Amino acid sequence: MDLEKLNLVPLSKVIGKLKNVLLPIKKKGWSNIDDSIAKILADDVFAKLDNPPFNNSAIDGYAVKVEKIDEEQTFKILKKTSTPGSPFTGILKNKEAVKILTGAQIPEASDKIIFDEEVNIKEDKFSIRFKKNESSNIRFKGEDIKKGQLLFQKGYSINETDMPSLIASGNSRLATFDRLRVGLLKTGNEIKKKKIGKSAGSVLDSNGVPLAALFKRWGYEEISLGNVNDNLPEIKKALSQNLETVDVIVTTGGASAGKEDFISKLLLSEGEVYAWKIAIKPGRPIIFGRWNGKYIFGLPGNPVAAFVCALIFLRPSLGRVAGEINWFEPLSFKVISAFKKTKKVGRTEFLRAKLEKNNTVSVFPYEGSGRLTSLAWSNGLVKLDDEISNVVIGDKVTFIPYSSFY
């Protein structure tokens, strides 16, 4: 295959185009924090409360007021203990100490918590010498989050690690974009939903379930548009009937460079094409565009290619359409190649790869995308950029764990 002859568009150019043309389309709604994972903020979020809400102890110890540095002082321990939820509310005088537990509010006058372990109690007293620049062991009101502070920006996708900050800042109810409804249409005369039976040349639909699982993982609602034959009127009918119920359309199959190329035909003749004939592997044939006011993402029919292209193209594209301001970039790592490979310059390749414990990465021994077990075997993708022509054992290569896309 001569890549030049095929006029394939480099991946970076395709991503650049998608970044420019795709726009957020969802309306603002409301979410409770416990149903907010993978939802996207429809407004900036500001802190309504300080965190910590009050000065509190970072340790288990004794709260005192420091009067002198580098000189022994003796403190008398009061009877009351300051615990989380039951703080000492009396007046702490000079030369008095109050037992305090981690997280408990500190007495107003106190400016220092002494570690339990540093205190040598005799009867109800202890003596101690403070040094200069010692930590106060106090967590100060608002030192983590200040009331009024901007915490998260509109277009940010919420995850588990954001939840404590959101709750503690008084944001347990959030303005979010409604979940994206993704219509999934599978095309192909050969695809059978349940049983292959006796139809010659038929295969089971192994695309729909993993793609629907990805959409769910990404926070979207999958709307199945079913399986249709490679037949333009049938495809148009299936899409037209569901146009109102879906926000975007994802198709599999039918975008072949061969004769039976119906999604391309549809977009080229009646729609708008954003990207087609992309210089990546696996990935051909793909087509992205717009038809009757809806974005359409035409993925390959091959389940390995469809899955990889969903990670590479759909994750950021659907994210943007769902309201994400920043273009999604998966976390990637430089690791050591345990494989060798030559490739064509001008094409980006994604290899099903397995990261081993010693920071080295292997690739599946068979490159063909007919190998479904290559997905199950691997835990991520090695990305070989356009300009790379050769990889040898020991080279640094880019590895993207599948979990980076979830």
Query: Which of the residues 295 through 334 are near its own copies (CB under 8 A)?
Result: 301-304, 307, 331, 333-334
**Amino acid letter, residue 75:** F
Phi, psi of 211 (to 5 degrees): -65, -45
Q: Which is nearer to its own copies, 327 or 333 (CB)?
A: 333
Interaction mask 360-379, its own copies, x per CB under 8 A: --------x-xxxx-xx-xx
3-class SS shares of the chain: helix, strand, coil, % to 5: 20, 35, 45
d(CA 389, CA 345): 5
| Binds its own copies (CB under 8 A): choice among 71, 123, 160, 244 | 160
d(CA 91, CA 88): 8
- Are the beta carbons of 307 and 206 closer than 8 angstroms? no
d(CA 315, CA 350): 15
| Binds its own copies (CB under 8 A): choice among 94, 153, 326, 359 | 359
| Binds its own copies (CB under 8 A): choice among 23, 71, 122, 258 | 258
d(CA 324, CA 367): 34
**Min dist. Cβ of residue 152 to its own copies (A):** 8
d(CA 290, CA 266): 10
Part of the chain binding its own copies (CB under 8 A), chosen from 126-134, 159-167, 233-241, 317-325 = 159-167
**Min dist. Cβ of residue 340 to its own copies (A):** 18
217 binds its own copies (CB under 8 A): yes
191 binds its own copies (CB under 8 A): yes
**Min dist. Cβ of residue 292 to its own copies (A):** 27
Taking the CA atoms of residue 354, residue 327, residue 310 and residue 349 in that order, the dihedral angle to the nearest 10 degrees is -50
**Min dist. Cβ of residue 362 to its own copies (A):** 14
Q: Which is nearer to its own copies, 56 or 73 (CB)?
A: 56
* Residues written for the chain: 406
Q: Which of the residues 110 through 129 are near its own copies (CB under 8 A)?
A: 115, 117
| Binds its own copies (CB under 8 A): choice among 26, 165, 223, 327 | 165
335 binds its own copies (CB under 8 A): yes
Q: Which is nearer to its own copies, 15 or 21 (CB)?
A: 15
Q: Which is nearer to its own copies, 348 or 378 (CB)?
A: 378
Tokens of 388: 């790379």
| Binds its own copies (CB under 8 A): choice among 20, 161, 269, 342 | 161
Tokens of 5: 């002859």
Specify the DSSP class assigned to residue 67.
-
| Binds its own copies (CB under 8 A): choice among 66, 210, 273, 344 | 210
Q: Which is nearer to its own copies, 176 or 302 (CB)?
A: 302
**Amino acid letter, residue 96:** E
Q: Which of the residues 41 through 100 are near its own copies (CB under 8 A)?
A: 49, 51-54, 56, 58, 60, 81-87, 89
Q: Tell me, by CB under 8 A, how many residues bind its own copies.
A: 101
Residues 6+ apart with CB under 8 A from 131: 69, 70
170 binds its own copies (CB under 8 A): yes
d(CA 77, CA 89): 15
Cα distances (Å, whole numbers) of residue 19 to 14, 250, 404 = 9, 18, 20
| Binds its own copies (CB under 8 A): choice among 43, 111, 144, 385 | 144
d(CA 324, CA 389): 34
- Are the beta carbons of 264 and 232 closer than 8 angstroms? no
Part of the chain binding its own copies (CB under 8 A), chosen from 152-160, 240-248, 268-276, 320-328 = 152-160
